[in-house]
Amino acid sequence: MPSHDFRAPRLFVDAALAPEARVALDRDQSNYLGNVLRLGAGDPILAFNGRDGEWQAAIDGRKRPDSLVILKQTRPQDGLIDLAYVFAPLKHARLDYMVQKAVEMGASVLQPVLTRYTQASRVNSERMRANVIEAAEQCGILSLAEVAEPLALERYLGQRAASRLLVFCDEAADTDNPIAALQGAREAARGIDVLIGPEGGFAEEERALLLRQPHILRLALGPRILRADTAAVAALALVQAALGDWGGQNALAHR
């Protein structure tokens, strides 16, 4: 695969991409290119839509950028591994951070779940999607993670596929070697859900419900208590290193 161009600006567009196609820009995109990046007609940019790979494009427009002319493909479309990040929502900026980092770490689905001690009862799905796009634009990511609607924890557990491995990150679990524990589940991994609870932890009845789930791996993230957004990065890094696409023997299928 061609190496990523880290110097060229990248823009997500929700339109089909093909040679000589013309893609209209919305007001925010036009402002970003023209007023923030100070780009104008003829300047190069990379465009992607999460479906057709990455394309070299040229900005068009007389007074301000109003469209892109698609030139040639620079990278073919890829896929994300079957890794869902399941989490109790946080408030505002910390949720933004967590979503961006989960995308950077390769999560293919972001699933908010509501627990007894969840700090934020409302989730702005559009804002989450905007953070998914921003992280993808900045980090050369081609495939966009799906943003799922929030579910109560019990309802989520009732509808998830029992064949998937549920990695339950639990501060009450015995501190052991998490890499070894994950590697022990390699043969059984056919899609993974990584669950991080709220900063207040899980209620005892929630923990009991979780521990009755089939195909579960209860995991401690070391001897220290981590904030939920820090735990997201730690847990996804462990899963990617042991079962995901960081190593040469990826145990997970692509979505």
Cα(126)–Cα(122) distance, integer angstroms:
12
Q: Could you give phi then psi for residue 105, rounded to 5 degrees?
A: -85, 0
Q: Smallest Cα–Cα separation from 167: which of 216, 223, 202?
A: 216
- Please tell me the distance from the alpha carbon of residue 225 to that of residue 230, in angstroms, as a whole number: 10
* 208-242 tens-digit pLDDT: 999 999 889 999 888 888 898 999 999 999 999 98
Instruction: Give the global pTM.
Output: 0.90
- In tens, the pLDDT along 96-107 reads 999 999 999 999
**Tokens (6 digits) for 88:** 């109790």
